[in-house]
Structure 1
Amino acid sequence: MQKWPDDDVILFDGVCIFCSRWVRFVAQRDTTKRFRFTPIQSDYGAKLARTFGIDADDPDTNAVVHGGEVFMKSDAALTVLSHLPGWSWTHALFAVPKPLRNAMYGLIAHNRYRIFGKYDACFVPDADLRARVIE
């Protein structure tokens, strides 16, 4: 697996309402401010996406770099959740077979714009969250 120099970086689709809510969800619960965020539409996010084979024009996953490695789809979501204070119980969900987890993830990812909507431009976080965004 390819390494990435920055750690605990979440790559997300910045125009996806669901994805942006995910970022706010994580940021509110990440009391130690461990995770940082990068929209795939930013220069940094596009470079990260290209490095790991994610189509920046039609992303089908978010990703997280943790421990120098990239995790995608359900592995990304569970890796993030299991490192949030009070959410370590979600680590047990790794026991669910990965094909089943990724099938559920893919169903939501494929329909996210239709179900949740899409911003016209990348969402702009508040000042506190803005300090944790890498562009």
Structure 2
Amino acid sequence: MPVARRSSDLVDPQSQAPDRRTGRGDLPLNALVSDLPQALQTRLANRDLIVFDGECVLCSGFFRFITRVDRAERFRFAHAQSDLGADLYNALGLPPDDFETNLILVNGVTYTHLDSFAAAMRAVGWPWRALSIVRFLPRPLKTFLYNRIARNRYALFGRYETCMIPEPGVMARFIDRDDEAT
């Protein structure tokens, strides 16, 4: 079931025309984690999270980059192909089998598309925080750039046959693995 949002945040998914009040044309628009179903909130346990396509070479490269620069180990991870990933995509009204956007949850807010990259860069601190400047690009330009890369990522960067499996130390930061243990 999609997350209930304020009417000012909704965009007609058929038209993908920007909402006149927010100027935004991508869904969902920074939904709050507190709006997710209670069972999903419990699984997230107020942790900052990056959900990424584990078969995508570009997305997995972003994941590896974050593991190197996130010295405070602020972020936890989940593959989009996991049960948790599918549950989040479903709850946010995104297709659970088409991972054209990473999901990033920071401080109780979900981010998608290029805003997810900006949120992650802000969260890991300097010098990487400077890359969050992309959040100031005009929404149509951000949407165009992100969609061009996302829709062609397998052709441009390649695809793994199965989800990438990280080393054991990093694997401990996967919360979708917590679900398997319970």
1:92 paired residue number = 133
Q: Which amino acid aligns with 2:174?
A: V
Higher relative CO (Cα under 8 Å, sequence separation at least 6) belongs to: 1
**Does residue 10 of the first structure (1) align with residue 50 of the second (2)?**
yes
The separation in 1 between residues aligned to 2:86 and 2:162, in whole angstroms, is 15
Deviations along 1:11-41, one digit per CA (max 9) or x if unpaired, are: 1111111101100001100000001111011
Question: Is contact 2:86–2:97 with CA below 8 Å preserved after alignment?
Answer: no
The separation in 2 between residues aligned to 1:31 and 1:99, in whole angstroms, is 33
The separation in 2 between residues aligned to 1:17 and 1:92, in whole angstroms, is 24
Q: Secondary structure at the match of 1:83?
A: helix
Q: TM-score, structure 1 length as denominator?
A: 0.93
Question: Is contact 2:114–2:134 with CA below 8 Å preserved after alignment?
Answer: no
Deviation at 1:2, TM superposition (A): 4.2
The separation in 2 between residues aligned to 1:30 and 1:60, in whole angstroms, is 23
CA-based RMSD: 1.3
Identity %: 34
Q: Give structure 2 stretches of 5+ with no counterpart.
A: 1-30, 177-182
Q: Secondary structure at the match of 1:121?
A: coil
The separation in 2 between residues aligned to 1:111 and 1:41, in whole angstroms, is 19
2:123 paired residue number = 83
The separation in 2 between residues aligned to 1:74 and 1:40, in whole angstroms, is 17
2:167 paired residue number = 126
Deviation at 1:123, TM superposition (A): 0.6
1:69 paired residue number = 109
The structure that has the greater radius of gyration is 2
Deviation at 1:54, TM superposition (A): 2.0
Q: Which amino acid aligns with 2:173?
A: R
Question: Is contact 2:106–2:123 with CA below 8 Å preserved after alignment?
Answer: no
C-alpha distance 79-127 of structure 1, shift in aligned 2 (>3 A): same
Q: TM-score, structure 2 length as denominator?
A: 0.70
Question: Is contact 1:54–1:60 with CA below 8 Å preserved after alignment?
Answer: no
Aligned length: 135
Greater than 4 Å deviation, 4+ residue runs? none
The separation in 1 between residues aligned to 2:84 and 2:135, in whole angstroms, is 29
The separation in 2 between residues aligned to 1:2 and 1:28, in whole angstroms, is 27
1:60 paired residue number = 100
